[in-house]
A = this chain, B = another copy of it.
Amino acid sequence: MTEVLVKDLFGDQQIAEDAEITLHGWVRTIRSSKKIGFIELNDGSTIKNAQIVMKAADVENYADVAKFPISSTIAVTGTVVYTPDAKQPLEVHAAKIVLEGASDSDYPLQKKAHTYEYLRTIAHLRPRTNTFYAVFRIRSLAAFAVHQYLQEHGFNYLNTPIITGSDAEGAGQMFRATTLDLNHLPLTEDGQVDNTKDFFRKETNLTVSGQLEAEAFALALRKVYTFGPTFRAENSHTQRHASEFWMIEPEMAFEDLDDDIVTIEALIKAVVSYVLDHAQDELAFLNDNVDEHLIERLEKTRDEKFARLTYTEAIEELKNADVDFDVPVYWGLDLEAEHERYLCEHIYNKPVFLTDYPKEIKAFYMRANDDGKTVAAVDLLVPEIGELVGGSQREERLDVLKQKIADNQMPEDEYDWYEDLRKYGETVHSGFGIGFERLVMYVTGMENIRDVIPYPRTPGNADF
């Protein structure tokens, strides 16, 4: 008798026919007649279930087993029988079934379809469904593919701080992190909150980006990347925004915007390719049940070169498009999702790089182009999602950077250390940020960011 996983049954190294095995898992479905019954058993090792065949004549407690509630934990000992002509390639003929943990009969995931909205209220149970099993398995594979590609290409993983004393790029509203007792706040003489009494002796917030801190390390370790949580305290209720999400932020010394674009495309292709190779069962399920164009789109992403054009060219293309956008198109417009998606879904039908955006709609640290109007920025737009990646060459010229900080009325003393990076050996360098959840949406076909995060945080929702 050998303990095996359901995954092993379907693996390349098949279990010998008639081998006696034991499986531990959860009952997904059970149906039985007087003499014979069938259990679909899932043990978490694969999205697939093992088909357990039990005969009343073989299984001592057959009558009891037939009544086990869905989701009960059982141990099945039996023999493997290959069934090349049946729907499933093999069955396990049970000799013994032990109840290890009976489920309550009010288990909320009985065999019927539930809405995604309902499943979000049972985020602790939804990974037991095929859809969410597939999503979270692919999320894990995609994360590993990011690490693997970057590590193999000379990048060093860097953990930039979550709690920060600065507001980085002014990218959005922040959460304050504090240990002050809100019902007994210490006050200064003029009646304001005395932040010097807080844990860090000043006001601190949750990071919106680790980029600036990562730049410092790129100028020492050459190539680095962050991969960690970031936060936005915006009262945003779209399908593409969460209050807490993970970002991947690579930074590279001695690389310009063209190099940046090469790395972005290679990384996205590497992740897509890894998922296509390692999640065939999960993708097949999602393609059948969630998005019928998913695999086709991923294969195209892996195989075809991405399009590339400037922001200015894109504005022309959008102006010439025979479509009424909700927001009219003009040079200088911060593109909306409708424009981004039109470009990559209708004009190019694949991922599209847009470069050289107007400086007014991009962050202070992006390198000024010689035209005086644009910056060396790049966004990657992808079908179904819109913006997936945003990057730029960084402004390495101290005088230009100082002017930008002054123009934006940013507190200069907070950026002393950032300016040091230009004072002590200024270096051409570039980087980008990927919203990891958007990448997971892209490789799973899921349409709502709440459905690719284990326990999503959005305004008014911090359950579990």
Contacts and interface: CB of A to CB of B under 8 A. Distances in A.
Given A136-B158, A156-B136, A176 B173 contact: no
A348 B169 CA distance: 51
A44 B222 contact: yes
A216 to B, nearest CB: 4
A307 B133 CA distance: 38
A185 interface: yes
Nearest to A26: B425
Interface string A126-147: 0110001100110110011001
A140 B158 contact: yes
Interface residues of A, number: 106
Nearest to A184: B193
A75 to B, nearest CB: 9
A10 interface: no
A301 B416 CA distance: 43
A144 B157 contact: yes
Nearest to A214: B454
B44 A159 contact: no
How many identical chains are in the complex?
A: 2
Interface in A249-276: 253-254
B182 A179 contact: no
Contact of A223 (B44, B218, B460, B464): B44
Contacts of A216: 123-125, 127, 464
B164 A173 contact: no
Interface in A220-248: 220-224, 228-229, 231, 233, 243-244, 246
A200 B127 contact: no
B127 A221 contact: yes
Contacts of A221: 44, 127, 133, 136-137
Given A104-B423, A143-B157, A124 B175 contact: no
Contact of A244 (B162, B213, B218): B162
A161 B426 contact: no
A157 B140 contact: yes
Nearest to A185: B182
B454 A213 contact: yes
Contacts of A154: 5, 7, 45
A461 interface: yes
A202 interface: yes
B175 A177 contact: yes
Interface of A: 5, 7, 24, 26-27, 43-45, 71-73, 100-104, 107, 122-125, 127-128, 132-133, 136-137, 139-140, 143-144, 147-148, 151, 154-166, 173, 175-180, 182-183, 185, 192-193, 199-202, 204, 206, 213, 216-224, 228-229, 231, 233, 243-244, 246, 253-254, 396, 417-418, 420-428, 453-455, 457, 459-464
| Those 8 A-B pairs whose CB atoms lie nearest each other, nearest first | A44-B222, A101-B426, A127-B220, A124-B216, A200-B462, A140-B156, A140-B157, A73-B425
